[in-house]
Amino acid sequence: MKRTTHKLKALAFAAVTVLAGATMTGCVEDVPMENRFTFKGELISTYLENNPEKFSSFATILSKAKIGKKASGNLLRTLSTYGSYTCFAPTNEAVDSFLQEQYEQFLDGNTTGIESPYLEDLTDSMATEIAKNHIIEMGYMTTDINEGAFPMNTMNNRFTTVEWITDENGRVFPLLNNTSRIVEQDLEMENGYIQIVDGVLSPSNKLLPELVEAQKGLSIFSDAIKRTGLDSLLSIYDIDPEYDNTLTGPSLDSETSTSPYPKDKKQKYTLLVEPNELLQSKGINDVFELAKFAQKWYGTEDADNYESPKNALYQFVAYHIIDRQLLYSSSTGPGGFIMEGYVNEGYSSLVNLNQKFDSYEYYETMLPYTMIKVTKPYTNEELKQDIVINYGQNMGTCNNQDMKEHINVIVEKAQTTKDKYEELKDFDQNSLNGIIHTIDRILIYNEDEMAGNVLNERIRIDVSAMFPELTNNSVRWDLMKPGNKVTYIPKEFCKGFEYLNEDCEVFYFRPHPTSGGSYANYQGDEFIVEGKYDFRYRIPHVPAGNYEIRFGYPKGYYRGVCQFYVDGKIAGIPVDLRWNADTDIIIGWVSDEGLSEDEIKENDKAMRNRGYMKGPASIVLEAETGVTMRSGVQPLRKIVGTYRLDKGDHWMRFKDVSENSTGKLKQFDQDYLELVPLSVINNQLKPEDIY
């Protein structure tokens, strides 16, 4: 079959699926036209039960599937409730074929969890896994999806990839997970949509090391993973088997409903891999030659012990591992490298983060005390459509000429990988505990290049991006059911975040529009701590050096008075985070409107002397008027101070020291953290910009 890369219009797609249902071998029987798109008064569960000749097997699986580890309900009952769901419904023939295939794999010695071809022998746990791969807790039509993935994970917290394929007769279908076609689409129910598929959706249950090993075109990197022992790290997945995702926490003070717990407590990774063909083009034909190449950059210490963290090959592989699962784009599914095209209940990230400026994010790797910078360089015509790792300053140049082939590394789309490399034409990037992306250059960490070029800049990190657990467990980026904007974050859920008293209540607040249309947040979401707060978090690892630390926040009426600490030491006097006449005077904010350039610079200097800065001018609050954080009186940057951040862990603590005289909960809301090298602040030839 030929793959095509366009989004199909609804009318044309409806036409080909009508033909497909009647003529294609292995497709489901015709659905009467009067029932094809609208089933008023019928729920997903009743439709499946009322059509046993097509769906009795899937209905049985749903009835055996459990909602949660400690819940008594089943998923068929869930689909009998009102709400919004997408149900990928495999036919009886598809289920029978799947069970037989899994049984044959079992006979061949593979562990599949299915040891019988008969439905009645299917365990409840396997039924739960199968069922959850077929349900999304949001209703989607095929016209809502583009090439990439469905915007929301399945109930099993797995993304569902989408490609549009054309068969030999010119008929076009969405292909899901590279295996199953939607052959009858957009059956509208009272509680969502049914998409009939001709195969059971079964994303790989291989862990990352197994999935890499299974792909011939990645054999050199796979060998490196095994020899370094990092396959053990990449095999971590279920970090809390007893975790109960049916629990709810307290309600956020501004909301009325209780807040659900995160859907899972899993560990996932992103693995960046150089295909064999790329390595071979550089004279690297096996793992031993790769180890020799790595020594040029990481040294020869413990050269004979690949499992030593000081070994060059070990360090090379570790720098290719990110501590969270990242899809190619957040606009094609939950959890992208860069926030782009994220839309939730009327909120669009393109308002805040328009494409007049580069978009960027920073992620730590499993090589201790290192990070990568990920950029969508919209200001670079040549690269603006790409996801670029370690994008150099000055439009992609580098300082160290030996590093010129190892920065500006492009992350390749899955389809690019399949088309580019013959040995990866069936490339599967979706493992049980993470995702694989191929890259177009050999990725290297060099301290001088990172400190002197790539990361020699104002490093702005959204606070929600600092905790990989939020991305890995359908918290950050997730599109929850309408009206459910908040997730409660229980204690010890994020290992880089620590409660220091029992009064803290922590919430993740999804991006959403406000009543006035503006939103004073960097990437739209909020990480909120309520109560008489006292907590700390680990500062992201940056190259060793001297940094000015800035705290980005929106003023609020109930923010409280905060005492900052860095590495256990008090950082200045307490800061009043509330919005009132007294704080306005202390901060000294004056609008730029009507001021000359010199007057604007003078006011900025006066604010800095008080320890404050206006918000960034690159973040738009109102699309219609062009109001930015800089022109808004609410969003501010508090300069915490200048600190030496050497290799190792550094912590910031936040303690409310105000009196609770209003009767309201204190609400601490940090937006982002800025870590700015002093070399940037002190550069007279290129002063720091307002963006």
Give, in order, the Cα–Cα distances in Å from 517 to each of 414, 452, 527, 627: 36, 40, 20, 11
- Position 25 confidence tier, pLDDT thresholds 50, 70, 90: very low
Is 220's pLDDT higher than 90?
yes
Calpha distance 55→29 (Å, rounded): 11
Calpha distance 212→278 (Å, rounded): 16
Answer whether 671's CB lies under 8 Å from 635's CB.
Answer: yes
Is 479's pLDDT higher than 80?
no
Which structural domains are found in the chain, ordered by start?
Answer: 2-197 (2.30.180.10), 208-239+265-323+365-454 (2.30.180), 463-681 (2.60.120.260)
Question: Would you give the distance in Å from CA 92 to the centre of its chain?
Answer: 35
What confidence score (pLDDT) does residue 32 get? 36
Three-state SS for 451-510 is HHHHCCCCEEEEHHHHCHHHHHCCCCCCCCCCCCCEEECCCCCCCCEEECCCCCEEEEEC
Question: Which one-letter amino acid corresponds to residue 84?
Answer: S
What confidence score (pLDDT) does residue 483 get? 64
Q: What are the tens digits of pLDDT across the range 453-471?
A: 999 999 999 999 999 999 9
Whole-model pTM? 0.86
Q: Name the token pair of 655.
A: 């303690």
Calpha distance 537→662 (Å, rounded): 28
What confidence score (pLDDT) does residue 482 get? 63
Candidates 320, 310, 326, 316; CA nearest to 293 is: 316
Q: What are the tens digits of pLDDT across the range 486-496?
A: 999 999 999 99
- Residues sharing a CB contact under 8 Å with residue 110, sequence separation 6 or more, in sequence order: none
What confidence score (pLDDT) does residue 17 get? 37
What confidence score (pLDDT) does residue 24 get? 32
What confidence score (pLDDT) does residue 71 get? 52
Question: Would you give the distance in Å from CA 29 to the centre of its chain?
Answer: 39
Three-state SS for 506-534 is EEEECCCCCCCCCCCCCCCCEEEEECCCE
More confident residue, 273 or 580: 273
What confidence score (pLDDT) does residue 575 get? 93
Candidates 675, 678, 656, 657; CA nearest to 667 is: 656
Answer whether 79's CB lies under 8 Å from 131's CB.
Answer: no
**What value does the mean pLDDT take over residues 591-607?**
95
The residue to which tokens 């600490």 are assigned? 565
What confidence score (pLDDT) does residue 197 get? 96
Question: Would you give the distance in Å from CA 216 to the centre of its chain?
Answer: 28
b/e burial code for range 604-622 (CB count within 10 A of at least 16 → b): beebeeebbbbbbebbbbe
What confidence score (pLDDT) does residue 12 get? 32
Element (H, E) at 602: helix 597-610
Q: What share of the chain is helix, strand, coil (3-state, %, to 5)?
A: 25, 25, 50
Answer whether 503's CB lies under 8 Å from 525's CB.
Answer: no
What confidence score (pLDDT) does residue 96 get? 95
Handedness of CA 337, 339, 341, 347 (dihedral sign): positive
Answer whether 161's CB lies under 8 Å from 414's CB.
Answer: yes
Calpha distance 5→238 (Å, rounded): 35
**What value does the mean pLDDT take over residues 176-200?**
92
Element (H, E) at 641: strand 635-645
More confident residue, 90 or 258: 90
3-state secondary structure of 194: strand
What confidence score (pLDDT) does residue 519 get? 58
- Position 8 confidence tier, pLDDT thresholds 50, 70, 90: very low
Answer whether 198's CB lies under 8 Å from 424's CB.
Answer: no
Calpha distance 404→454 (Å, rounded): 12
Answer whether 267's CB lies under 8 Å from 324's CB.
Answer: no
What confidence score (pLDDT) does residue 111 get? 73
Sheet of 359-364, strands arranged across:
359-364, 371-376, 387-389, 409-411
- Residues sharing a CB contact under 8 Å with residue 532, sequence separation 6 or more, in sequence order: 501, 503, 504, 656, 660, 666
Q: Name the token pair of 377.
A: 């360089």
What confidence score (pLDDT) does residue 70 get? 52
Q: What is the mean pLDDT of the chain?
A: 87
What confidence score (pLDDT) does residue 115 get? 86
**What value does the mean pLDDT take over residues 640-651?**
97
Q: Name the token pair of 470.
A: 């939020």
Is 195's pLDDT higher than 80?
yes
Give the chain's radius of gyration (CA, Å): 26
- Position 507 confidence tier, pLDDT thresholds 50, 70, 90: very high
Is 474's pLDDT higher than 50?
yes
Quote the percentage of the chain above a pLDDT of 70: 89
Quote the percentage of the chain above a pLDDT of 90: 61
Calpha distance 324→97 (Å, rounded): 34
The angle formed by the CA atoms of residues 88, 90 and 92, to the nearest 5 degrees, is 155
What confidence score (pLDDT) does residue 40 get? 55
Least confidently predicted of 5-14, 497-506, 587-596: 5-14
Candidates 400, 370, 229; CA nearest to 305 is: 229
**Beta-bridge partners for 348:** 343
Answer whether 335's CB lies under 8 Å from 476's CB.
Answer: yes
Candidates 333, 12, 15; CA nearest to 146 is: 333
3-state secondary structure of 263: coil
Calpha distance 521→463 (Å, rounded): 11
Q: Name the token pair of 147.
A: 């090439």
Give, in order, the Cα–Cα distances in Å from 364 to each of 186, 239, 318, 396, 454: 41, 20, 11, 21, 14
What confidence score (pLDDT) does residue 108 get? 84
Q: What is the largest CA-CA distance in the chain?
A: 79
- Position 572 confidence tier, pLDDT thresholds 50, 70, 90: very high
Answer whether 182's CB lies under 8 Å from 195's CB.
Answer: yes
Answer whether 165's CB lies under 8 Å from 1's CB.
Answer: yes
End-to-end alpha carbon distance in the chain: 48
Answer whether 35's CB lies under 8 Å from 50's CB.
Answer: no
Q: What are the tens digits of pLDDT across the range 67-102?
A: 765 555 789 999 998 888 999 999 999 999 999 999
3-state secondary structure of 456: coil
Calpha distance 8→172 (Å, rounded): 8
Q: What are the tens digits of pLDDT across the range 622-645?
A: 767 778 899 888 899 999 999 999
Q: Name the token pair of 427.
A: 């490339």
Q: Name the token pair of 435.
A: 């995702």
Element (H, E) at 415: helix 414-420
3-state secondary structure of 361: strand
What confidence score (pLDDT) does residue 144 get? 75
What confidence score (pLDDT) does residue 69 get? 58
- Residues sharing a CB contact under 8 Å with residue 633, sequence separation 6 or more, in sequence order: 555, 584, 589, 591
Calpha distance 535→520 (Å, rounded): 23
Least confidently predicted of 10-24, 26-40, 139-153: 10-24
Element (H, E) at 364: strand 359-364
**Beta-bridge partners for 452:** none
